[in-house]
């Protein structure tokens, strides 16, 4: 791929903007030598003589580029931000590097969390990985902690484990889910599928209402082990990626 196209795909600007950055000498190699829009980018022979620049050799204003394609990041989503690129109000993208939503392919959330739900949210620009992480076939259990508006009814564990619970407006019963009581109005719920507003609708089916909802874990990844403060994000390490695939 040509450097022009590569920088565009990473969100550094339109064709013209990228050409301007290159013309201004702001795109260089590690030795601060200016690069050209037609230089070839790709892993392989690292020498410029061979005209194949590995990602790691390219600099923008002296800084290494944003993550190469195939990124997988995790955000501790706070309450009050939306999983969208353009809703009014605060967006998850406001918490991520600004170029991520200009990338092609875009960096997308892996599934969604409601505006009023906090917790672990993955992001990737890799379509295959996105499919794998959301497909029921590769199943990733999702763990939620909920506080309720009223005391638990006492029948939730049996109801949610039954595999017969039908949500309003749906035709297929929910898969069995694990339920753990944490307090009179607090519980942990592990889901094996992801339907629209699923946790809120499951508690609504018991005549209760969710007051707060937080996703603690996806597969083998827990927010606690990741140690991320609310609103913070980071790339997953190779071993964290492996923990996720191992749990699939």
Residue with tokens 């601060």: 32
Measured in degrees and rounded to the nearest 5, phi and psi for residue 136 equal -60, -25
The answer to whether the CB of 49 falls within 8 A of the CB of 79 is no
- The strand ranges marked E within the chain are 27-29, 40-41, 52-53, 58-60, 63-64, 72-77, 108-109, 117-124, 142-148, 178-183, 186-191, 210-218, 221-222, 233-235
The CB-of-82 to ligand URA minimum distance in angstroms stands at: 11
Q: Does residue number 114 form part of the binding site for ligand URA (CB under 6 A)? A: yes
Query: Is 114 an active-site residue?
Result: yes
Nearer to ligand URA, 72 or 113 (CB): 113
Residues 79-98 within binding reach of ligand URA (CB under 6 A): none
Nearer to ligand URA, 115 or 132 (CB): 115
Can you name the residues that pair with 123 across neighbouring β-strands?
73, 109
Q: Does residue number 200 form part of the binding site for ligand URA (CB under 6 A)? A: yes
For ligand URA, which residue of 199, 218, 223, 244 counts as binding (CB under 6 A)? 199
Read off the tokens for 139: 């199943």
Q: Does residue number 117 form part of the binding site for ligand URA (CB under 6 A)? A: yes
Nearer to ligand URA, 57 or 199 (CB): 199
| Sheet-wide strand order for 58-60 | 27-29, 58-60, 63-64
| Contact range with ligand URA by CB under 6 A, out of 111-119, 125-133, 161-169, 231-239 | 111-119
Applying CB under 6 A, which residues contact ligand URA? 113-114, 117, 197-200, 213
């Amino acid at each position: 791929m040509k450097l022009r196209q590569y920088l565009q795909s990473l969100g550094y600007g339109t064709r013209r903007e990228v050409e301007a950055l290159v013309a201004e000498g702001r795109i260089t190699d590690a030795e601060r030598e200016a690069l050209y829009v037609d230089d070839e980018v790709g892993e392989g022979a690292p020498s410029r003589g061979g005209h194949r620049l590995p990602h790691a050799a390219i600099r923008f204003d002296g800084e290494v580029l944003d993550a190469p394609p195939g990124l997988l990041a995790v955000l501790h989503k706070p309450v009050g931000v939306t999983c969208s690129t353009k809703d009014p109000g605060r967006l998850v993208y406001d918490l991520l590097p600004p170029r991520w939503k200009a990338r092609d392919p875009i960096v997308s959330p892996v599934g969604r969390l409601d505006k009023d739900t906090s917790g672990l949210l993955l992001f990737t620009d890799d379509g295959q990985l996105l499919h794998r992480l959301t497909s029921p076939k590769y199943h990733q259990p999702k763990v939620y902690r909920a506080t309720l508006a009223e005391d638990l009814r006492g029948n939730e564990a049996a109801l949610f484990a039954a595999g017969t619970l039908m949500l309003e407006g749906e035709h297929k019963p929910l898969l069995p889910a694990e339920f753990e009581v944490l307090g009179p109005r607090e519980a942990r719920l592990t889901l094996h599928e992801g339907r629209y507003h699923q946790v809120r609708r499951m508690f609504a089916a018991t005549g209760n209402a969710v007051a707060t909802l937080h996703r603690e874990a996806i597969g083998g990844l827990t927010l606690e082990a990741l140690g991320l403060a609310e609103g913070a994000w980071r790339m997953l390490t190779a071993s964290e990626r492996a923990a996720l695939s191992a749990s699939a």
